[in-house]
Structure 1
């Protein structure tokens, strides 16, 4: 892991940009060490510099966690694939025309998940070698499909907070039955891009004995700020 920049922020959190081979990422660590690790991903691979992700990461780090995120292949500054760019163009066209989008989303999000999981696991290996980071490990983020796949593939993840705001491919909807770790699932009741019943069906499918659903009125980006505090309390119960 090669650290490319480092700065101490006003809240005492240290922010470091890093490269792990071709994988760019950011790590936020609190003043206390060692700290449990939280992997934080934004919806369907949106850039690690997205302001909402950065705000959540900094808040969580200030609560005593090491928080890490990476750019998925084809996202942020990473090269785009022709297939993914065509799928995005097809998605925009279908949305403008009011046409069905599920098959296009399958062709876009499914490969994103499959390509992202090995990179997240490689990143996890490298992060857990740092003296300021310890287990157990949590996952938090709007990319629910990635969280499901990681929870199934990666035994070091002990708990997950998922946002029901992104498309979850059929493969991950089936895999949800294999997820047994504690879950906190956030749903925006009026999310214009995420059918409510599909999110409720996904919550029902999770195999976890401990799973909690928080539903709030409002659209896709209207998740109340207090849910971040509740999310940290959830992590406190399972990672500290």
Structure 2
């Protein structure tokens, strides 16, 4: 892991950009003498790590005393896109503009992203846990499809907070039954891109007995800020 830049933010949070092979990422760490619990934070459907909402969440979470890390998935942010990536994105834009069904396009686009992203997250986790300022346990917050796969295959993930607004491939809907860690699931009741019943069915499918659903009125990007604070309390119960 090679750190390429750093800046000190308000509240003593240290923000550092890093590279790990071809993987670019950002790490936020609190001002603390003790190793901090770690939260892996991913944006739904692999939006860039510099996306403003993710950065705001990460900085606030670090101010609560957690180390927070995010990475760009393959083909996202500044990482090069394959011809297949470009075609899938073009097909998705066209279908959304014309009102055509988009599930199969999402399936062909998001499924491979998950397959590529999860090994990179596990490699990143190995490197992060070798840093003296990071202790554990480990939580996960954000992109549901990747989070389901990580929770199913990565025993170091102790708790997870998922956002219901991203497309979840069929494979991950099946894998949800393998998720047995404590779970907080956030749903926007009027999310224009995510059928409500599909999200409720996914919540029902999770195998854990410690799962909580928070539903709020509003569209895709309307998650109330107080849910950020609720998420920090959730992780406080399970990571500290």
Specify the TM-score bucket, using the shorter chain as the normaliser. Answer: over 0.9
Deviation digits for residues 19-56 of structure 1 (CA, Å, limit 9, x no counterpart): 00110000000001310000000011110000000000
Instruction: Measure the CA separation in 2 of the matches of 1:11 and 1:62.
Output: 6
Q: For 1:136, what is the secondary structure of its paired residue?
A: strand
Q: For 2:26, what is the secondary structure of its paired residue?
A: strand
Q: What is aligned with 1:56? A: 57
Deviation digits for residues 129-185 of structure 1 (CA, Å, limit 9, x no counterpart): 0000011100001x1000000000100000000000000000000000010000000
Q: What is aligned with 1:43? A: 44
Q: For 2:181, what is the secondary structure of its paired residue?
A: coil
Structure 1 residue 77, shift from structure 2 partner: 0.2
- Note the residue ranges of structure 2 that are not aligned, 5 or more in a row: none
- C-alpha RMSD of matched pairs (Å): 0.5
Q: What is aligned with 1:200? A: 200
Alignment of structure 1 residues 8-47 onto 2, 5 Å: 8-32=8-32, 33-47=34-48
Q: What is aligned with 2:98? A: 97
Instruction: Measure the CA separation in 2 of the matches of 1:93 and 1:50.
Output: 23
- Moved >4 Å (runs of 4+): none
Instruction: Measure the CA separation in 2 of the matches of 1:175 and 1:149.
Output: 7
Structure 1 residue 96, shift from structure 2 partner: 1.2
Deviation digits for residues 168-209 of structure 1 (CA, Å, limit 9, x no counterpart): 000000000010000000000000000000000000000001
Structure 1 residue 76, shift from structure 2 partner: 0.3
User: What count of residue pairs does the alignment treat as equivalent?
Assistant: 239
Instruction: Measure the CA separation in 2 of the matches of 1:96 and 1:83.
Output: 20
Does residue 153 of structure 2 align to residue 164 of structure 1?
no
Structure 1 residue 95, shift from structure 2 partner: 1.1
Q: Normalized against structure 1, the TM-score is what?
A: 0.99
Q: For 2:12, what is the secondary structure of its paired residue?
A: coil
Alignment of structure 1 residues 174-193 onto 2, 5 Å: 174-193=174-193
Structure 1 residue 101, shift from structure 2 partner: 0.7
Q: For 1:11, what is the secondary structure of its paired residue?
A: helix
Q: What is aligned with 1:218? A: 218
Q: What is aligned with 1:73? A: 74
Deviation digits for residues 86-132 of structure 1 (CA, Å, limit 9, x no counterpart): 01100111111111111100000000000000000000000000000
Q: For 1:16, what is the secondary structure of its paired residue?
A: strand
- Note the residue ranges of structure 1 that are not aligned, 5 or more in a row: none
Q: What is aligned with 1:114? A: 115
Does residue 5 of structure 2 align to residue 5 of structure 1?
yes
Q: What is aligned with 2:145? A: 145
